[in-house]
Amino acid sequence: MRACFGKFWLMQNSQHDRLRLVVAAGGTGGHIFPAVAVVEQLRLQTHDACDVTFLGSVDRMETRLIPALGYDYVGMPIVGFKGVRHPSTLTLPWKILQSTRIARATIRRVKPHAVVCTGAYISYPAGLAAAKEGVPLFLLESNVNPGKTNARLAPLATAIFLSFEESVRYYASSLASKLVVTGNPVRSQIPSTKDAREARAAWGLKPDVATVLVFGGSLGARAINAAMEAALPRFADAPFQVIWQTGSSYTFHATPPPNVVIRPFIDDMGLAYAAADLVVSRSGATTIAELGIVGKPAVFIPLPSASTGEQQHNAQVIEQAGGAVVVKDADVLTILASTIEELMRNEEQRTTMATVMRSFGKPRAAADAAAAIIAMCTKRGPR
């Protein structure tokens, strides 16, 4: 069915009228990677008859990642709200206005069939611009409860792609016809083509020893890093191995035990997941979606500063189903190491948790979202 939509697009449009999109995504990998996953599927389903321009910030990770993937990129001065007393708040209205103007200019230049937004502050000016320019707006909502930006843009959207069935209750009944539960789109590199033995060997670890993967997201997590640094002496003699991503803002100066591999950033998360028997991480929506695909049990440490408590909501859904153990950020220094050790001693519990986690996996999420976008753009016709 998904391939049919792509072929139908090609049949209904001349070969020179390629599918054109503007995509707003940035700030963190949790907003960038789902967008990239959908774009990958859009290109696949249209047999590469798809041109994409990304909108993002001028100084975050998307400025490096998106051009490296070969996409047209336009930066905007928009920044997130950092509190009433923060100096950046004084200039925020001007930056929103300027960013909306840049987004509108980009839309007029590209003449897209649709604008796709993944939430966070990056999406707000792009969503406003799409509405002002009369371009269909598609929202990707990764979390159980909608973020502030997507909640504001929802009435303007043509469709809202949800990651969780539970998310429907957070939207007004008037928006019900716009809601499409697809799951959270996941990058094509996940899952890895390597099995656990091969993946561990690729990390320089023993192929037959159980492994724990620890990370705090693309930017790192201070509490998780502090807990891991404190735990390394006791992990040195543990019957398991550790892969620890610290994030770019943290440096571990000591020499780690031989059963611990430390990296500031992991480019191939598929390979890291393949090596792991247990994952310790924040409970961002992208991480949960990826863990659902690969079926890995988890210890979640929700980010307490998340603006709408979305990471706590995400973690609770998985914990209540039995797929994860949740540790509060305030408790991570004192109980993370013992929680890891307890789970690594209980293979039966990890197996049960993995089965539950896999039930949350939506491997067709990116393909289904892409097919829906193509279908709606085809129905509307070219601009």
The reported pLDDT for the residue numbered 1 is 46
β-strand partners of 141: 162
pLDDT in tens, 235-275: 999 999 999 999 877 888 889 999 999 999 898 999 999 99
| All domains in the chain, ordered by first residue | 2-186+363-380 (3.40.50.2000), 196-359 (3.40.50.2000)
State residue 44 phi and psi, 5-degree precision: -65, -45
Q: How many CB atoms lie within 10 A of CB 11?
A: 8
pLDDT in tens, 75-84: 999 887 666 6
What 8-state DSSP symbol labels residue 155?
A: G
Enumerate the H helices of the chain as residue ranges.
2-12, 29-45, 62-68, 88-110, 120-133, 148-153, 196-202, 222-235, 269-275, 285-294, 310-321, 332-345, 347-359, 365-380
Q: How far apart are CA 345 and CA 150, in angstroms?
A: 42
Taking 70 as the threshold, does the pLDDT of residue 66 lie above it?
yes
Higher pLDDT, 246 or 187: 246
Encode 279-292: b = buried (16+ Cβ within 10 Å), e = exposed. bbbbbbbbbbbbbb
Q: Lowest mean pLDDT: which of 125-134, 235-244, 319-328, 372-381?
A: 372-381
Could you tell me the pLDDT band of residue 3, with boundaries at 50, 70 and 90?
Answer: low
Could you tell me the pLDDT band of residue 15, with boundaries at 50, 70 and 90?
Answer: very low
